[in-house]
Structure 1
């Protein structure tokens, strides 16, 4: 945990820019690691979609997020940037959330200023808490972390609620309160997107969502941002792939001709490290006759 948090903090301070896909489970985190990315975003929306089969409307609990973080931290060696929604309550709850997720393996913990229960940053009908209340949550988060390398990310959803200028003011206040990274959600034009890091000092996240409110641009076009986030593109690709393959299986009643549309058996087992588990099982179960104790 401490090593990955330090790695992430150094990267945010010194660059280069991080392009970070989101993962909703440990297998996706392993695919992201093998694809060559340098960090994983543990997506709350993705956990809601895959674990609960529900939309991102604040239904996921702290214990469910913790379980997912623990599994991903065990599966990959990359820094985990963890979406902790609103912190699951008031500043005291936020302190517990930070301690819990840090122990689970989070290298960075993201908190947002929505009213609970929150909604996806690109849904309509969001509401935000007073900026001063969020400032106190950030103070609690900073005080609660044990490892100072763990980054606290402050997200504001005020753009679509109070306007762009208010979102910038909130970001500046959150930085002053001790947030290490700032995340202005849902800018509505390329000009707004690029204005954010020019107006508020500090590392920033650009969140690019297919179908969302922010115009899609490449990471190269957003060099001002420390992190360019694609929180659920892996999930969307997986859903599309499943829909396509299952439609053919329903139509044909066969899996014989799927070919390169699916991961072969051997690749599936390699991705979940079966050879390593087989080797460990062999090592620990190999007991020679002379080491066997007869029980009478």
Structure 2
């Protein structure tokens, strides 16, 4: 599917409901965000609180509920090469269509936060090779992510992407380039297809699709747009309820709209969930 597009914009989701909304909006692909899962399921920052079972369980629920091709944030793979292989196998059983694997030391943290550390090149390459071996011939898109720009500079990040290419992964992601010049260099020198990770208020400039495509990026991920917009909307609605003592229907999906979204109408008619 990804090969059919010169570039594709896809959103981050964090649970089954946000994935349903992404599908309704017409997206052909979604990303299950570790940042979003940690915030929505645990109320904690993206700092290594989620484990392999947590992520696989959420991925399974999202895949069943939304029926939307899903790439999962698998963090560091949750251990050594054996753990990485098990992570890929569990995500395949959950119905996911791919994952991101990164080179941070554990416990990891959001790639746009300070204080990151990365494992050595050989360890990263071995984990990627284990992931590729675990997927076998399955239709599963493995993206190698490096956070080395922040720790060791762009040259090291590019070298790690070349090692990832040798390991046989499907996509490449250099996290948190801080400016357009760095994006331009990565687009010119890194293997492809390339991910641009576009966090509103993060370290990387949020350029338009046409600009990023021109720089060589084809997988344009907005991992936190849904989470941040939901947080603002829910916060404002609840503040208004607290302030006024009543809700404002103009701020809300209607009872009928919501039931249609989650498949209640179809089930009441005697059918199955509209997946």
What band does the TM-score fall into relative to the shorter chain? Answer: over 0.9
Q: Following TM superposition, by how much is the alpha carbon of 1:233 offset from its aligned partner in structure 2, in angstroms? A: 0.7
Contact kept in structure 2, 1:44 and 1:84, CA below 8 Å = yes
2: CA distance, partners of 1:20 / 1:95 = 26
Residue in 2 aligned with 1:92?
82
Deviations 1:209-263 (A, max 9, x none): 11211111112211121210000110100000011111110011111xx132111
Residue in 1 aligned with 2:33?
43
Larger Rg: 1
Q: Following TM superposition, by how much is the alpha carbon of 1:279 offset from its aligned partner in structure 2, in angstroms? A: 2.6
2: CA distance, partners of 1:160 / 1:55 = 19
Once the two structures are overlaid, the 10-residue window that deviates more, 49-58 or 175-184, is 175-184
Contact kept in structure 1, 2:162 and 2:190, CA below 8 Å = yes
Alignment pair present for 1:32 and 2:22: yes
Q: Which stretches of structure 1, 4 residues or longer, exceed 4 Å deviation after superposition?
A: none
2: CA distance, partners of 1:72 / 1:147 = 23
Residue in 1 aligned with 2:244?
252
Contact kept in structure 1, 2:161 and 2:191, CA below 8 Å = no
Contact kept in structure 2, 1:99 and 1:146, CA below 8 Å = no
Residue in 1 aligned with 2:220?
228
1: CA distance, partners of 2:44 / 2:63 = 24
Contact kept in structure 1, 2:172 and 2:191, CA below 8 Å = no
2: CA distance, partners of 1:77 / 1:92 = 29
Give the gaps of 5 or more residues in structure 1. Answer: 1-6, 283-296
Instruction: Report SS of the residue matched to 2:145.
Output: strand
1: CA distance, partners of 2:135 / 2:70 = 15
Equivalent residues in 2 for 1:257-268, closer than 5 Å: 258-268=248-258
Contact kept in structure 1, 2:36 and 2:227, CA below 8 Å = yes
Question: Which TM-score applies when normalising by structure 1?
Answer: 0.88
Once the two structures are overlaid, the 10-residue window that deviates more, 23-32 or 70-79, is 70-79
Once the two structures are overlaid, the 10-residue window that deviates more, 60-69 or 127-136, is 60-69
Residue in 1 aligned with 2:73?
83
2: CA distance, partners of 1:173 / 1:14 = 25
Give the gaps of 5 or more residues in structure 2. Answer: none
Deviations 1:39-82 (A, max 9, x none): 01000110000000000001011111111111111122321011
Equivalent residues in 2 for 1:68-147, closer than 5 Å: 68-147=58-137
1: CA distance, partners of 2:265 / 2:43 = 32
Q: Following TM superposition, by how much is the alpha carbon of 1:146 offset from its aligned partner in structure 2, in angstroms? A: 4.1
Once the two structures are overlaid, the 10-residue window that deviates more, 140-149 or 200-209, is 140-149
1: CA distance, partners of 2:70 / 2:239 = 34
1: CA distance, partners of 2:270 / 2:147 = 47
Count, aligned residues: 270
Structure 1 residue corresponding to 2:162, chosen from 172, 184, 205: 172
Instruction: Report SS of the residue matched to 1:244.
Output: helix
Deviations 1:62-116 (A, max 9, x none): 1111111111111223210110000000000000000000110110111000001
Q: Following TM superposition, by how much is the alpha carbon of 1:194 offset from its aligned partner in structure 2, in angstroms? A: 2.3
Question: Which TM-score applies when normalising by structure 2?
Answer: 0.95
Residue in 2 aligned with 1:182?
172
